[in-house]
Amino acid sequence: MKISFAEPDLPHSGAVVVGVWEGKALTPAASRIDEAAGGAIARALSAPSRFTGKKDQLLPILAPPKLSASRIVLAGLGKPESADSGSLQQLGGTLFAHLNAAGEEEATVMIDIGDTASVGPAEAAAEIAFGAQLRSYRFDKYKTKQKPEQKPSLTHLTVATSSANAAKRAYRPLEKTAAAVFLTRDLVSEPANVIYPETLATAAEGLTELGIEVETLDETKMRELGMNALLAVGQGSARPSRLVVMQWHGVESSDGARGRPLAFVGKGVTFDTGGISIKPAAGMGDMKWDMAGSAVVLGLLRLLAARKAAVNAVGIVGLVENMPSGTAQRPGDIVTSMSGQTIEVLNTDAEGRLVLADALWYCQQRFKPRLIIDLATLTGAVIVALGHHRAGLFSNNDELADRLIEAGKEVGEQVWRLPLADSYDREIDSDAADVKNIGGGRAAGSIIGAQFLQRFIDDVPWAHLDIAGTAWSTKDTATVPKGATAFGVRLLDRLVSQYYEKE
């Protein structure tokens, strides 16, 4: 979809969208369109209707002959002081879905929010466009027989504002964010016969075009490094495992503490059968997105490079396929991780933590990062605890945890902190090895997974994001179509820009 910005003017074709405040109060743009339409808006608002101008309400009306437009859409804005970046993004996404469902090919959005909002006119226009762009995402490359009405119709959206040039400038970084989100959504949406460790590594290598250094470790190199925990997960698959290292150099490496990188580590299980501890058949197809954590790391590094973020960052993804076979690891096996700690594998379906154990240790030993954040679709238990509205957050550092919470609120990717404690840690003491990969029962499953990871963290600020409940959506939301969400890309980018680029 093409997005453009223009000075306010009466549209000559397509749909026109104007705003209405709560209580049916017209914005200036709505008043101008109403006058040009011979009072059509006033008549529509005076008719019996549940539309009152509350946030997220829409009221379409046919455009009268006096107006060269196909239809007028009244968009509820809520109270004037309530307009902010998040609500405007939601409005843009909601409008895209509505106009597309109506079969419109082009539309002009004329939303002027006044002086009481927390954002100016240029930023408001950019945020509306950003929301529409996020919602426009589709993964339909494998559909060959779509009917015309099933295909997207809206190809051109114009956002009218008195600050058109400023809006274009405000939209440029948001457009880069959307591209990074779309990359992540694409990777997560691909089937496991297309995205597997080798091809996901190839996708990462494509980031070199943006100035990112990419290095791929094969199984021989990982074996030399002692990454036996990661390799054990993939040993049952015909697809060889990989570990990919991505580096973005945004500041001089000699620039004191700022020269040390921020580190992001992602779980990349490209398909998870559970291994010998095999999952039920129902829903197993969803396990193509058990690599969502790694896809978020790719998307984040792409975004940091695209906007030339003034930080050094490293992204590391452990890529494996967890399959049952005659060579697969068995429940009861003991492996020696890169850290030297031995792990008793009591359940081969608790595999993501084995991958991360070696990836986290490698990251710390090689790069000595300022902080390390891992992302993983680690446990179904976090869905039981938090549903699909928030990701689980675990951290050994209060400041880092607080910053993640605030960044999540600002971009609408919220996290909820859960505890870590010695009492939980004792649950994974093993009789036969240093640690076992599951606890003694089903209780506190997401906490147990985080406690396991913490055993492979040295003295560095660390946070673990369990995104099992937020990586995929089974229904549409304002800015996220059903499917892969890319949860975490915007959250971590905001964390970086807000707290680590301005030091």
Q: Which two tokens stand for residue 487?
A: 């949860």
pLDDT at 147 over 90: no
279 is known as an active-site residue: yes
Instruction: Tell me the C-alpha distance between 205 and 301, whole Å.
Output: 12
Question: Among 76-80, 346-350, 393-397, which stretch is predicted with the lowest mean pLDDT?
Answer: 76-80
Q: Are strands 312-322 and 242-249 parallel, antiparallel or unpaired?
A: antiparallel
Q: What is the pLDDT of residue 116?
A: 74
Residue 196 DSSP label: S
Q: What is the pLDDT of residue 255?
A: 58
Q: What is the pLDDT of residue 421?
A: 98
Average of per-residue pLDDT across 143-157: 90
Q: What is the pLDDT of residue 256?
A: 66
Average of per-residue pLDDT across 48-66: 92
pLDDT digits (tens, 9 = 90+) for 391-407: 999 999 999 999 999 99
pLDDT at 253 over 70: no
Average of per-residue pLDDT across 135-155: 92
pLDDT digits (tens, 9 = 90+) for 82-129: 889 999 999 999 999 999 999 999 999 999 887 777 889 999 999 999
For residue 317, the SS3 value is strand
Residue range(s) of every CATH 3.40.630.10 domain in the chain: 195-499
Q: Are strands 58-62 and 71-76 parallel, antiparallel or unpaired?
A: antiparallel
- Of 256 and 194, the structure prediction assigns the larger pLDDT to 194
Q: Which CATH architecture has domain 195-499?
A: 3-Layer(aba) Sandwich (3.40)
Please, what CATH class does the domain formed by 2-172 belong to? alpha beta
Question: Among 129-143, 146-160, 386-400, which stretch is predicted with the lowest mean pLDDT?
Answer: 146-160
pLDDT at 216 over 80: yes
Q: Which two tokens stand for residue 211?
A: 């100035």
Instruction: Tell me the C-alpha distance between 170 and 182, whole Å.
Output: 19
Question: Among 64-68, 313-317, 453-457, which stretch is predicted with the lowest mean pLDDT?
Answer: 64-68
Q: Which two tokens stand for residue 502?
A: 């301005």
- Of 114 and 80, the structure prediction assigns the larger pLDDT to 80
pLDDT digits (tens, 9 = 90+) for 415-459: 999 999 999 999 999 999 999 999 998 899 999 999 999 999 999
Active-site residue, selected from the candidate residues 32, 260, 279, 417: 279
Active-site residue, selected from the candidate residues 135, 307, 353, 455: 353
Average of per-residue pLDDT across 372-395: 98
Average pLDDT, the chain: 96
Q: Alpha carbon of 245 to those of 180, 182, 316, 466: distances in Å?
A: 18, 21, 5, 21
